[in-house]
């Protein structure tokens, strides 16, 4: 999270530099006015481009932090789940699968735990509400 504080500080500095350059551009200068105003306009443009790039970096850092948090959570859950037939389950103290089934596809692809639900059309089918993968109920049932 320290990266976001640094990026915010950089953005504030760039905004201040843009404001100063704008003030200098708008003030009346006595010598070589046109050339100085052109250089200031170039400076403002460069600072604005830099500011946009820093905003992009800030968004990337935020996404990175979110993904790291998701992966840490998945890593902590890794030893708590066990594969049984067509689904993943919580691991009981005995080491066996127990409880309601989690979607095998979502866990293996994204390390996300989503419970399966029974299809309204066919009681022999369980479905993941996120990825819509279908499983046979007899191979992905609740284990007591």
Is the pLDDT confidence value at 114 over 90? yes
Question: pLDDT tens digits for 41-77?
Answer: 878 888 888 888 888 888 888 899 998 988 888 777 7
Contact 81, 89 (CB under 8 A): yes
Q: What is the pLDDT of residue 32?
A: 64
Is the pLDDT confidence value at 22 over 60? yes
Contacts of 99 (CB under 8 A, 6+ apart): 89, 90, 142, 143
CA distances from 22 to 25, 40, 47, 79 (A): 5, 8, 11, 58
């Amino acid at each position: 999270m320290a990266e976001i504080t640094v990026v915010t500080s950089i953005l504030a500095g760039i905004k201040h530099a843009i404001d100063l350059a704008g003030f200098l551009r708008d003030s009346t200068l006595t010598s070589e006015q046109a050339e100085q105003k052109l250089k200031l306009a170039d400076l403002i443009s460069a600072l604005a481009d830099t500011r946009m790039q820093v905003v992009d970096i800030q968004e990337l850092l935020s996404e990175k932090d979110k993904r790291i948090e998701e992966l840490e959570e998945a890593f902590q859950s890794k030893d708590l789940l066990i594969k049984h037939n067509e689904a993943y389950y919580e691991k009981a103290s005995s080491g066996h699968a127990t409880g309601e089934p989690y979607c095998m596809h979502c866990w293996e692809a994204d390390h996300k735990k989503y419970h399966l639900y029974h299809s309204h059309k066919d009681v022999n089918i369980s479905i993941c509400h996120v990825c819509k993968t279908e499983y046979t109920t007899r191979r992905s049932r609740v284990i007591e």
